[in-house]
């Protein structure tokens, strides 16, 4: 981008000089996105989980932070899924209300669990391709049907199924515009999922995926304790420390700002 436009966007040369390299990179990203027609969202990976980021430049001799991030609730040595809900996914209204709707509709425990966990990939790890991240996180701990449905709800969300009472989300028109069509791989994945024996489970996630949720409704995680206990294989060593194929992903959520 044009240097003069960039300097104006960051507030002038003196403001730019006062920034450290990470802040300069952020400022450039922000300025470049301001030049586009669309709004470029910052991925939540290694975020502060909604808390204020530290401001100011690095003092000389200061080490990079490693270990527990003092801005976040401290996690125990053997974290459970419930602890992740309380200390990392909170307030998790979208997940809790989706799970509560599935519960109210009298769906099976497997489907209720899938609805409750369907967006944890995007909530705590990375929004882009969140269904895949979420499925991978959960695969060692849930029935295969649950993680499969979470993986494919992402693609199926873009395609209506009037027979099952699912319309294209109005929220997506607001987010992406009237003429938006997802990447070809999403079309292919949705097509594959439609012919799969677990299609209805993934579709139920879409149906119970509450976007127009009530901001005043309070759903407590307590009502899901039994379902979690019966359907989620909590490792004794704690999530992140059990050497499973996704343990490192849980650790990244525990320590999202470790330098390495």
By CB under 5 A, name the binding residues for Fe ion: 119, 209
Please tell me what DSSP assigns to residue 162: G
At 32, list the tokens: 């470049």
For the bound state, the minimum distance from the C-beta of residue 47 to Fe ion, rounded and expressed in Å, comes to 18
Minimum distance between the CB of residue 205 and Fe ion, rounded to whole angstroms? Answer: 8
Closest contact distance (angstroms) between CB of 129 and Fe ion is 10
Q: Is residue 237 classed exposed, middle or buried when 0-12, 13-18 and 19+ CB atoms within 10 A define those classes? A: middle
Q: And the tokens for 131?
A: 């269904």
- Is 176:39 a contact under the CB 8 Å cutoff? no
Identify any residues that bridge with 229 across adjacent strands, giving them in sequence order: none
Q: Which residue is associated with the tokens 């990179």?
A: 25
CB nearer Fe ion, residue 69 or residue 209 = 209
What is the smallest separation between the CB atom of 178 and Fe ion, expressed in angstroms?
Answer: 21
CA distance 146 to 153: 11
């Amino acid at each position: 981008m044009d240097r003069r436009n960039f300097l104006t966007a960051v507030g002038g040369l003196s403001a730019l000089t006062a920034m450290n390299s990470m802040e300069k990179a952020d400022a450039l990203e922000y300025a470049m996105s301001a030049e586009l027609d669309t709004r470029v969202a910052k991925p939540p990976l290694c975020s502060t989980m909604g808390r204020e980021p530290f401001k100011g430049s690095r003092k000389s001799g200061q080490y990079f932070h490693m270990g527990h991030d003092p801005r976040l609730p401290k996690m125990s040595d053997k974290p459970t899924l419930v602890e992740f809900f309380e200390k990392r996914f909170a307030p998790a209204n979208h997940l809790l209300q989706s799970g509560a709707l599935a519960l109210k509709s009298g769906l099976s425990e497997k489907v209720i669990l899938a609805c409750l966990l369907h967006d944890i990939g995007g909530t705590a790890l990375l929004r882009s391709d969140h269904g895949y991240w979420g499925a991978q996180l959960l695969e060692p701990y849930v029935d295969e049907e649950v993680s499969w449905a979470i993986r494919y709800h992402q693609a199926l969300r873009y395609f209506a199924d009037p027979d099952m009472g699912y319309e294209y989300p109005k929220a997506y028109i607001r987010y992406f515009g009237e003429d938006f069509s997802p990447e070809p791989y999403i079309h292919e994945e949705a097509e594959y999922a439609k012919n799969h024996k677990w299609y209805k489970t993934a579709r139920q996630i879409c149906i119970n995926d509450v976007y127009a949720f009530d901001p005043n409704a309070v759903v407590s995680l307590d009502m899901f304790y039994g379902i979690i206990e019966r359907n989620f294989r909590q490792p004794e060593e704690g999530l992140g420390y059990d050497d499973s194929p996704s343990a490192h992903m849980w650790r990244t959520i525990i320590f999202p700002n470790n330098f390495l």
